[in-house]
Amino acid sequence: MIGDTGILFQVAGIGIIVAMIHTVLKQMGKEEFAQFVSLIGFIIVLLFVLNSISDLFQQIKSVFFLKG
């Protein structure tokens, strides 16, 4: 039901690393690169969890409208 929790840790790790890269770049005055890296990190994580999200929506649909 819950599936593997590995993806959670992976996403958490990516989040931490992207946050660190963001901090380093911002400290060195490369704000635009920092924003860009954050955006890329977000998109990658989104691709990772895309399947899970679509599963979630299917579940919600099946619960409320009784179809799957």
Partner 1 sequence: MKVIAILMIIAACSVVGFEISNGFARRTKNLRLWKDALRILEAEIVYSQTPIIQVFQKLSKQLPKPMKELFAQLAKEVADERGDLYEIWSEKLEDFSKISHLKTEDVEILKQFGRTLGKYDILQHEKQIQLTLTHLDRKAAEANEQNAKFGKMSRALGVLSGIFIALLLL
**Interior/surface letters 26-52, b for 16+ CB within 10 angstroms, e for the rest:** eeeeeeeebeebbeebeeebeeeeeee
Binding to partner 1 by CB under 8 A, coded x per residue (else -) over 1-40, reads: -----x---x--xx--xx-xx--xx-xx------------
Q: How far is the CB of 24 from partner 1 (least distance, A)?
A: 5
43 binds partner 1 (CB under 8 A): no
Tokens of 7: 């993806």
Which residue, chain included where needed, has tokens 């977000």? 42
**Which spans of this chain sit near partner 1 (rule: CB under 8 A)?**
6, 10, 13-14, 17-18, 20-21, 24-25, 27-28, 44
